[in-house]
Structure 1
Amino acid sequence: MDTFKDKKKSSMLIDPVAMANKLPSLNDLLIVDLGDPKRYAQAHILGAVNISTQQLVSGQKPVPGKLPSLHQLEKLFSDLGYTGKSQYIIPYDDEGGGWAGRLIWTLDVIGHSNYSYLNGGMHAWLQEKLPVTSLIKAPEPTKVDITINKEVMASREYIEARIGNPDVVIWDARSPEEFRGERLFSMRGGHIPGAINYEWSRAIDPAQGYRIKKGVEKELNALGITKCKEIITHCQSHHRSAFTYMLAKILGYERVRAYDGSWVEWGNLLDTPVES
């Protein structure tokens, strides 16, 4: 089923049946499986390349969820067999879109816009009883030169300078308990002053194969997460907020940034403002 009818919105979103029908005619295609390697070895979409999700983060303490270094990014895309900005990339995962969203944000960071998210990922693909394979694809490494687009990134300093700005919405994708400071994964609990909490999982419909649920834009608008604002989204490590970043882009929001330091950074500093 198609979740969105608007062509501008749906260009970033492809439904499993539509993808299966288009696969034979797609050229210069890269399908990226960001799910469990054991599941990938048993069943995945034909032609998909599986990579470790740890390649999408720097892994460097004290904030391991930040964007990888330039060298790490070039190795990641070389390992994928990346050929350039004309390549059509379709990422999917088996958890509802968090890791697929992280790759899409990373693609935006390197200035690659030719992509679509497989709506619902492997859950939706299997729900539709579409074909899978166990054949492993090992792409030939490519030479990759990358430049960074900081227009889709937000630093701690960038956010601090915009707290209270009526043109900016800070979208906290964590659970309500984390938002209120009742559940802690950092030294300090709570949220960035003025942030709006809409947990990432609220936008997913498990009954429809973990596709993006209908009516999500109406819910966001009711909270004040609207297209006329600049949106900065975060969670604990920019995994859940990678999905909300991707969701905002799919819905047609034009000014969207992600705070990859997220609460791991903000909540472990003593001088950052916090509300609870």
Structure 2
Amino acid sequence: MKDWPLLIETTQLAEALHDPKLLILDTSSAANYAEHHIPGAVHIAPSELQCGVKPAVGKLPSVDTLNALFSKVGLSPDKHVIAYDDEGGGWAGRLIWTLDAIGHRNYSYLDGGLHAWLQGGHPTEKVANHPAPTEQNITIDSLPIAEIEDFISMLDNSQLAIWDARSPEEYRGEKVLAQRGGHIPGAINLDWLELIDRDRQMRLKDLSGLQARLNELGITADKTVITHCQTHHRSGLSYLLMKILGYPHIKGYHGSWGEWGNSETTPIETGSNAKSSAQKP
């Protein structure tokens, strides 16, 4: 089996489209999948990657739901997943975090996703793909998953960094999407949109520049980094970026602000953190 890197370009995938060991998973909108998708790609609706139960709608679905989902798309241990979406990596990153949570670590992210594929003039198809179902017996690996009880007592620990991938307005508490607005005390804000190069078909920005930005903010590879947004969708991309950069200790807080901001007992700060990009216009 080919040794695929985590971050791949469209030309690499185009040359290997008919490799039977690949499972291409499309987490674009249903409309985009119906209009054009990579040949052989199987669709996962973004909503299928979240439990949908309020207030923390972004939490991981139940094991039974995950078994049904990954059976339907034909996942098996020998398959190398190619994850892509139509928005720059949020949903694809959420899928990769989910694969980590179920112990499947053979995957790559298609940089730029559908936008880059179309811009490159590569073939597409409209017909939906429905592979033969596979048997699943999923167990959850807690390592990539942050739960509120895991870190609420560690907010002043210098070896912990919390990356809030929401907008600066949400972070400062000016835009409120829960009972309470603001941010987790000590959390560092870097909007997920700042990671995406819109001038290069939604690919990631230069990795060395992104690493320098993270270092400047104190989101460094020597720390345990927990990332979140409102529903752990946008923070799918921040999680993915840290994997690409080789961060060894990263977790996704799947409860995200939907859980934290709707709790009456969690501590909250408003305004800008000293190291937050939210301070910058």
Interval of TM-score (by shorter of Structure 1 and Structure 2): over 0.9
Matched with 1:4 is none
Deviation of the 1:139 alpha carbon: 1.1
**Alignment match, 1:125:** 117
- In structure 2, C-alpha distance between the alignment counterparts of 1:55 and 1:106, rounded to whole Å: 11
Q: Secondary structure of 2:38's match?
A: coil
CA distance in 1, matches of 2:242, 2:151: 18
1:38 equivalent in alignment to 2:36: no
Question: CA shift at 1:14, angstroms?
Answer: 0.6
Q: Identity percentage over the alignment?
A: 51
Cα deviation digits, residues 161-191 of structure 1 (max 9, x gap): 2101010100000001111001100011111
Please report how far the alpha carbon of residue 217 of structure 1 lies from its aligned counterpart in structure 2 after TM superposition.
1.0
Q: Deviations over 1:220-252 (max 9, x none)?
A: 111111111110000001000111111110111
**Which residue of structure 2 aligns with residue 177 of structure 1?**
169
Which residue of the other structure, out of 238, 241, 244, is the alignment partner of 2:232?
238
- Structure 1 residue aligned with 2:265, among 256, 271, 274? 271
Partner of 1:79: 72
Q: Residue 198 of structure 2 is aligned with which of 200, 206, 213?
A: 206
Moved beyond 6 Å, runs of 4+: none
Residue 38 of structure 1: how far off its partner (Å): 2.0
Q: CA deviation at 1:98?
A: 0.8
Q: Secondary structure at the match of 2:154?
A: coil
Amino acid at match of 1:29: L
Cα separation, 1, equivalents of 2:95 and 2:79: 15
Task: Give the number of equivalent residue pairs.
Answer: 266
TM-score by length of 1: 0.94
Counterparts in 2 of 1:153-192, with a 5 A limit?
Answer: 153-192=145-184
Which runs of no fewer than 5 residues in structure 1 stay unpaired?
1-7
**8 Å Cα contact 2:17/2:39 also seen in 1:** no
State the superposition RMSD in angstroms: 1.3
CA distance in 2: counterparts of 1:55 and 1:222, whole angstroms: 36
SS of equivalent to 1:30: strand
**What is the distance in 2 between the residues matched to 1:22 and 1:145?**
29
Match of 1:53 among 24, 27, 46: 46
Residue number in structure 2 paired with 1:260: 254
Which residue number corresponds to residue 195 of structure 1? 187
State the shift of 1:22 in Å.
2.6
1:20 counterpart (14, 34, 37): 14
In the TM superposition, what is the alpha-carbon distance from 1:59 to its structure 2 partner?
A: 1.4
Partner of 1:3: none
Q: Which runs of 5+ in 2 are unaligned?
A: 271-281
